[in-house]
Structure 1
């Protein structure tokens, strides 16, 4: 029972039985050997306490050996040396003069211990020294204080300790083997290829599955670790070799790399390695597995490519708005941390790109955008970003820009590069651009908004230039935003009104009609002229809505006048058509319905159209003008001479009236420095007469201008000389007072 308890847990049944017999036999020998020693040597000291003490030593050794873990056998080794030292001390008690031998023993063991390759050699050497020392002491003392059987016990004890140490080493090796076996079984379960490198012999074992992963035959290299390393992708070889140098016993590692396949391709592998060490801690073997992860890597690359495509403009290959905003946000956050503007953002918009796109076709337009993208890329540094934000708008992010000067220099250089002709097919195309500049100092949204504000300022200046954002622009933008909000509510609150400016016959001064002019009766600013809000209304999309309201109000007012005042039956109303309204698909149907509902003669409604509006798309303009003409409406070309002034389209389009811009009228009468202007007006009159067009002079303010226009053959006129724009009631009163021609 005692031996069974001493054997402790963790031993196999065979080991337990062997260990039990060994411990009991050792204790019995110690107890029974004392009478034998006494019988053979009368000088031997003997007593039952001494017997029991020595037996207790043996049992204690067994207890410690059974209970101490395998990794703590160094303690057991120290205990064994403690026992041996006890024997030497006993010798010193009998012969104090032998301390010199004891010192020599310690020095000798201490000097040779580093040369020992194993604990077994060290123990054997120590036992030999102790036995030799005992014989020397016995020879010098002339007595034999220790019986020769003690030597047997001493050697037996050393062998017993060595057996325990050997057993511990075997246990450690068995645990490593079991761990290696578990590792191999796990790798086999994962359909991986296995291999083993023996670092002592330099040989390697590669399983058939491993060779199949690489398309190799049974006799093909690799045959060792070096051969395996040569199969790695050259750019990854240093990294893998560095990982091999950092292996530690019992600590598995894994990494991904590419390796050569027999078909000439490169395969992605997941390699797992486990280093195995001997009892001295030195790595003697490396076991590993490799799993082919090529398909997974390809799927990951496809996902990355898809994500990359989601951040790229498909037409130009440039970063799109999403990626640009992300990089702009990073730049803004970096600038905020560093306390200064470190990046400049430029918004670029091509001038009149729609005309190029519509005239040459969308295919050529796409080619132009691609060519512009290449020029922008070639004009920037590698660390800068150029992106297509949509349509013909591009964004540029310039890193490490602290002051405005470098950003403006880049903008000027880009404008020069874009002014160079683009060759699209066999045709040269010239374009220009507008650029707004701001700095990324707060947030991406703020920087983009400020750059957009500067871009609008550059556009307002006519394009082909750049503008640097400043706080004055911000104030103007905020004011514009307020106007936009107020303008949106103005229709709901019925704040818009029409005023009517008289049109007279220049031959006799009789009233023949009115031009309906839009006004905004602002609750705080009073009466606001269209020049302050009409362009903004067009920009925010209210142009068509306002246009419909103007036509409806003017037609109903004309019908009301005709019902309530007989002299009004013979005059007409001129209405300006807004650009967005002109391009509305329902424009013709809307006007036809108005004429029917108001019971108006179509000839009493004159539609005024600017030449700039018509020439945005000449073919479409011609079709729409023809449909308006088919309704019976009279068409007036407004502000003639300030736009394209093409005689070809003037002859082609179905206009009835030609209105001479006030800038020409203001220079009359034609004498002195204004003689050239008078000649232009006279030429226009002759042209109108040749085309059977009626003419109206705008902005007549003096009697001299009236007479000059009349003498040049102009039929009608309007301006403050004949009356300012009037509200509906005042206009009706004017009709009653002056009568009709």
Structure 2
């Protein structure tokens, strides 16, 4: 089967043209050709829609030459195989032509190599084309996102740098689809890709012609919003630039907060937006993007605080938080934390049943740092693992010391709070085993408190860990019960010994609804054969109410304040001194 070959022949002789065509046809080609002999004719031929495969050119023509033809190809940015077929051409001239861009040359009447040369040049042209396409794709991917075809972060930074250089008024808006990762993992990559495309279309509806949109992360988009004198129906005279940027963020939020329907499936996503204004006077474009990112991480995917404008105070808070993180790392490493203990008391006998371990941090410059500040920080950064291991180690060591000072039969246990991250850590069980063995304790000496929400996040996985703990006779307690979202069905099967009622239900003893809730929780726990601890007991009325409801144990300032180890020893001597001596 003949191969189609489209040939542009630069030749003033029709006979020589026919000889070329015949030779190519002998080589098995079906020829489509056009003969030109002037620059104007060749330019016209190059402008037609038909794509030429190869050019065969005489070196000298009355009004044109091969070198001029090569120059014309360069002017048109074309890379076509170019072979010179000339009646007379010296070696030096041929070499000069090759340097100018010709690929081969022949003497008219000596065309035995022509077919092989044509095939070779067509192959090499194809390789050059593939290389160019690869280079173009690499260049495209360097500045554009392959999925969405939006500019990427590199091109956004470049464009932003130009606006800074031009002293343009602008705002950088960084938008995050908060639930994108969960949607991707649950509904798949193909679905999430379509969701991204749908989100982009909604964002584009909100943009002004001069705005610049880019994809700068898996689920993040950046907008370079250029301010004009008139932003929609608000003028710069009666709205500040910050208000205009927030108004633009509101428009985008209202678009993206609506449910997405993709492949007949409905998906929702919370939206967080960080805003950085050019009034920050940064010199580097990356600083604006970082500021918007910092502000975005302060935003919340709700209907009120979804957009945050970056300011110096936010930056200071972030720096302080980072410093606190570093200080916490050092405090754990250098053993700068300490433990306090708060008694959990049997409400009938008023004897100490257990001591809850409370970690405290006295910062060398900040003083006492609230656990409500550094515990969440440790969970976010992963420091909860070394921190939790340290707390368990110190608490077990201290209980072992008390046991030796008083008696091995001292009827006390320690209660330690355990986070969800610790529960999922593969070394938790082995670490506890080592501690019990090293300090000559049994599982009955240890109680672990786990928040209600952690138990419900992944009940099947949590249950396996809890069952391993129960095999060691370790007591298990649901902390802050009533504030989470427990499934009573799961609660029946979890290997739990105790529920601890949150202080919010105890503190309002005069509230009839709270009383009914307390009564319901205690009755529910007893029906499941669980005992109950009420925390936050501060008044005699609260204590008496809980006793009347049948609550077994209590904790709070009325019963005992958090104490250091020495004061706990004194308390133990006071409670158990008639039985044991130091």
TM-score range, shorter chain: 0.7 to 0.9
Q: Tell me, which stretches of 5 or more residues in structure 1 are unaligned?
A: 1-191, 238-246, 260-266, 274-287
Quote the offset at 1:606 in angstroms: 0.8
1:431 aligns with 2:244: no
Matched residue of 1:566: which SS? coil
Aligned equivalent of 1:397: 223
Provide the C-alpha distance between the structure 2 equivalents of 1:289 and 1:494, rounded to a whole number of angstroms.
74
Aligned equivalent of 1:107: none
Q: How does 1:352-431 map to 2 (within 5 A)?
A: 360=186, 363-364=187-188, 367-368=191-192, 370-380=194-204, 381=207, 384-387=212-215, 389-390=217-218, 393-401=219-227, 403-423=241-261, 427-431=265-269
Question: What is the total number of aligned residue pairs between the two structures?
Answer: 503
The answer on whether the counterparts of 1:567 and 1:735 sit within 8 Å (CA) in structure 2 is: no
Quote the offset at 1:430 in angstroms: 2.9
The answer on whether the counterparts of 1:376 and 1:386 sit within 8 Å (CA) in structure 2 is: no
Provide the C-alpha distance between the structure 2 equivalents of 1:716 and 1:480, rounded to a whole number of angstroms.
38
1:736 aligns with 2:563: no
Matched residue of 1:734: which SS? helix
Matched residue of 1:334: which SS? helix
Q: How does 1:123-142 map to 2 (within 5 A)?
A: none
1:208 aligns with 2:208: no
1:222 aligns with 2:35: yes
The answer on whether the counterparts of 2:500 and 2:533 sit within 8 Å (CA) in structure 1 is: yes
The 1:424/1:338 distance shift into structure 2, 3 A limit, reads closer
Q: How does 1:602-621 map to 2 (within 5 A)?
A: 602-621=443-462
Matched residue of 1:549: which SS? helix
Provide the C-alpha distance between the structure 2 equivalents of 1:641 and 1:603, rounded to a whole number of angstroms.
26
Matched residue of 1:736: which SS? helix
The answer on whether the counterparts of 1:422 and 1:428 sit within 8 Å (CA) in structure 2 is: yes
Matched residue of 2:35: which SS? coil
1:659-708, Cα deviation, whole Å (9 max, x unpaired):
1111111111x4xxx11111111111111011111111111111111111
The answer on whether the counterparts of 2:343 and 2:562 sit within 8 Å (CA) in structure 1 is: yes
1:252-303, Cα deviation, whole Å (9 max, x unpaired):
46254899xxxxxxx9526799xxxxxxxxxxxxxx9976644312211123
Provide the C-alpha distance between the structure 2 equivalents of 1:317 and 1:590, rounded to a whole number of angstroms.
48
Provide the C-alpha distance between the structure 2 equivalents of 1:610 and 1:400, rounded to a whole number of angstroms.
48
Provide the C-alpha distance between the structure 1 equivalents of 2:523 and 2:531, rounded to a whole number of angstroms.
11
Provide the C-alpha distance between the structure 2 equivalents of 1:219 and 1:411, rounded to a whole number of angstroms.
59
Match of residue 661, structure 1, among 482, 502, 508: 502
Aligned equivalent of 1:513: 354
Aligned equivalent of 2:235: none
Quote the offset at 1:529 in angstroms: 2.2
Quote the offset at 1:356 in angstroms: 5.0
Aligned equivalent of 1:269: 80
The 1:591/1:544 distance shift into structure 2, 3 A limit, reads same
Matched residue of 2:188: which SS? helix
Aligned equivalent of 2:60: none
The answer on whether the counterparts of 2:533 and 2:553 sit within 8 Å (CA) in structure 1 is: yes
The answer on whether the counterparts of 1:194 and 1:290 sit within 8 Å (CA) in structure 2 is: no
1:476 aligns with 2:476: no
Aligned equivalent of 1:562: 403
Aligned equivalent of 2:307: 466
Provide the C-alpha distance between the structure 2 equivalents of 1:560 and 1:566, rounded to a whole number of angstroms.
10
1:643 aligns with 2:484: yes
The 1:234/1:679 distance shift into structure 2, 3 A limit, reads farther
Aligned equivalent of 2:71: 254
The answer on whether the counterparts of 2:9 and 2:33 sit within 8 Å (CA) in structure 1 is: no
1:563-611, Cα deviation, whole Å (9 max, x unpaired):
1123971111110113322221111111122112222120221111112
Aligned equivalent of 1:232: 46
Matched residue of 1:499: which SS? strand
1:550-573, Cα deviation, whole Å (9 max, x unpaired):
111111111111111239711111
The two structures, once aligned, show a CA RMSD in angstroms of 3.8
The 1:498/1:340 distance shift into structure 2, 3 A limit, reads farther
Greater helix content = 1
The answer on whether the counterparts of 2:340 and 2:359 sit within 8 Å (CA) in structure 1 is: yes
1:677 aligns with 2:514: yes
The 1:235/1:476 distance shift into structure 2, 3 A limit, reads farther
Q: How does 1:112-151 map to 2 (within 5 A)?
A: none
The answer on whether the counterparts of 1:432 and 1:464 sit within 8 Å (CA) in structure 2 is: no
Aligned equivalent of 2:136: 304
Quote the offset at 1:384 in angstroms: 2.6
1:580 aligns with 2:421: yes
The answer on whether the counterparts of 1:195 and 1:207 sit within 8 Å (CA) in structure 2 is: no
Quote the offset at 1:236 in angstroms: 10
Quote the offset at 1:508 in angstroms: 2.7
Quote the offset at 1:216 in angstroms: 7.1
TM-score (norm 2): 0.76
Q: How does 1:61-80 map to 2 (within 5 A)?
A: none
The answer on whether the counterparts of 1:268 and 1:294 sit within 8 Å (CA) in structure 2 is: no
Matched residue of 2:327: which SS? helix
Q: Tell me, which stretches of 5 or more residues in structure 2 are unaligned?
A: 1-6, 52-62, 85-99, 104-121, 229-240
Provide the C-alpha distance between the structure 1 equivalents of 2:499 and 2:290, rounded to a whole number of angstroms.
42
Aligned equivalent of 1:634: 475
Q: How does 1:498-577 map to 2 (within 5 A)?
A: 498-566=339-407, 569-577=410-418
The answer on whether the counterparts of 1:490 and 1:496 sit within 8 Å (CA) in structure 2 is: yes
Matched residue of 2:71: which SS? strand
The 1:236/1:254 distance shift into structure 2, 3 A limit, reads farther
Return 544-553 or 303-312, whichever deviates more: 303-312
Provide the C-alpha distance between the structure 1 equivalents of 2:333 and 2:495, rounded to a whole number of angstroms.
37
Matched residue of 2:80: which SS? strand
1:709 aligns with 2:550: no
The answer on whether the counterparts of 1:193 and 1:289 sit within 8 Å (CA) in structure 2 is: no
Matched residue of 1:385: which SS? strand
Provide the C-alpha distance between the structure 2 equivalents of 1:703 and 1:567, rounded to a whole number of angstroms.
34
The answer on whether the counterparts of 2:168 and 2:226 sit within 8 Å (CA) in structure 1 is: no
The answer on whether the counterparts of 2:348 and 2:552 sit within 8 Å (CA) in structure 1 is: yes
1:458-478, Cα deviation, whole Å (9 max, x unpaired):
149899722221221111112
The answer on whether the counterparts of 2:178 and 2:272 sit within 8 Å (CA) in structure 1 is: yes
Aligned equivalent of 1:196: 11
